[in-house]
């Protein structure tokens, strides 16, 4: 019996049907999953990606004004754009103020109270006396029992100087008995570890700044829309929403910069704040 044209032959055996997906053991399945994930992540590592920060004022200041421009500066979006810029300016003011008071602490308050830069004071205390850098800011030789932080050392110096002022005739006795010690590092390697931890804490901020700079560099200067409403091409909208449990928001801004401008690679996620072409007419 011949099949009419336009219809495929009914498979009579497993060989006649479509090829089955390969089956893997649990161990092989983990290897395949790791290989696919690593190939994708290494592409990120090698080529980088552009994204808009979603949890900072910088991302809002970049995206919201562009979306407002895309929709013709509606009243609501214009207000949101103005608010984004106000928060950005406020952020700059607060950060500038904090930097100024930190500079005041380092350049004014520390010299006023006589605190010198720590540098490597006391770093070689284990080999003292008899080695370089064994003399502290007080003019005496470092030893472990006489090593203090600046607050303790300055307080002890104040007590010694006060006693000398009260009993000037016993200055030599006070100097020998009321020993303030020396100011220096209490643990050199602890400071190195603390610096490392601090650098690890700020590396995320550095990466965010680098990512924002990359985004601004690669963004095209064309007058195009930053937001779109894209309808699915494979099914009517309502049925597609039921199949994937979508809401209307899932259809907003689903096309990335890569699709419109050929900028690659981008973070492969559905983004609300992304360049996209005009939706296909329905």
Q: Dump the DSSP string for 200-257.
A: HHHHHHHHHHHHHHHHHHHS--S---S--B---SSS-HHHHHHHHT--GGGGBS---H
Which range is most confident: 10-19, 108-117, 160-169, 211-220? 160-169
Q: What is the mean pLDDT of residues 131-152?
A: 84
Question: Which pLDDT does position 197 carry in this prediction?
Answer: 92
* Number of neighbouring beta carbons within 10 Å of residue 121: 20
Question: Which pLDDT does position 1 carry in this prediction?
Answer: 41
- Higher pLDDT: 221 or 15? It is 221
With pLDDT > 70 as the criterion, what percentage of the chain qualifies? 78
Question: Which pLDDT does position 20 carry in this prediction?
Answer: 58
Residue 281: pLDDT band (50, 70, 90) is very low
Residue 258: pLDDT band (50, 70, 90) is very low
Question: Which pLDDT does position 118 carry in this prediction?
Answer: 77
Burial class (CB in 10 A: 0-12, 13-18, 19+), 179: middle
Residue 273: pLDDT band (50, 70, 90) is very low
Q: What is the mean pLDDT of residues 92-107?
A: 92
Question: Which pLDDT does position 50 carry in this prediction?
Answer: 65
The pTM of this model reads 0.61
Q: Given a cut of 80, is residue 28 above it in pLDDT?
A: no
For residue 182, what is the DSSP state? Answer: E
Locate 167 and state its tokens.
Answer: 């009993």
Q: Which contiguous run of DSSP H or E holds residue 267?
A: none
CA 180/CA 114 separation, integer angstroms? 15
Q: What is the mean pLDDT of residues 140-164?
A: 88
b (16+ CB within 10 A) / e for 139-158: eeebeeebbbebeebbebbe
CA 236/CA 238 separation, integer angstroms? 6
CA 101/CA 91 separation, integer angstroms? 16
* Chain mean pLDDT for the chain: 77
Question: Which pLDDT does position 89 carry in this prediction?
Answer: 96
């Amino acid at each position: 019996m011949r099949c009419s044209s336009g219809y495929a032959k009914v498979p009579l055996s497993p060989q006649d049907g479509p090829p089955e997906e390969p089956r893997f053991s649990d161990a092989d399945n983990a290897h395949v999953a790791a290989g696919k994930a690593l190939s994708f992540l290494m592409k990120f590592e090698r080529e980088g990606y552009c994204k808009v920060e979603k949890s900072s004022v910088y991302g809002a200041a970049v995206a919201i004004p562009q979306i407002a421009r895309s929709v013709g500066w509606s009243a609501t979006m214009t207000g949101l754009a103005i608010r984004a810029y106000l928060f950005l300016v406020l952020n700059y003011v607060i950060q500038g103020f904090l930097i100024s008071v930190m500079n005041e602490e380092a350049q004014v308050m520390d010299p006023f109270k006589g605190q010198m830069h720590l540098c490597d004071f006391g770093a070689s205390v284990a080999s003292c006396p008899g080695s370089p850098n064994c003399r502290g800011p007080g003019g005496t030789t470092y030893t472990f029992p006489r090593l203090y932080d600046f607050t303790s050392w300055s307080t002890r110096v104040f007590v010694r100087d006060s006693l000398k002022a009260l009993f000037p005739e016993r200055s030599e006795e006070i100097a020998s008995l009321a020993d303030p010690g020396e100011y220096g590092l209490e643990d050199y390697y602890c400071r190195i570890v603390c610096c490392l931890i601090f650098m690890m804490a700020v590396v995320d901020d550095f990466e965010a700044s680098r990512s924002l700079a990359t985004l601004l560099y690669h963004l095209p200067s064309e007058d195009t829309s930053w937001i779109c409403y894209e309808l699915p091409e494979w099914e009517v909208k309502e049925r597609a929403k039921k199949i994937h449990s979508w809401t209307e928001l899932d259809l907003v801004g689903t096309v990335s910069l890569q699709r419109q401008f050929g900028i690659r690679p981008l973070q492969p996620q559905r983004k609300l704040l992304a360049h996209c072409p005009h939706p296909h007419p329905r």
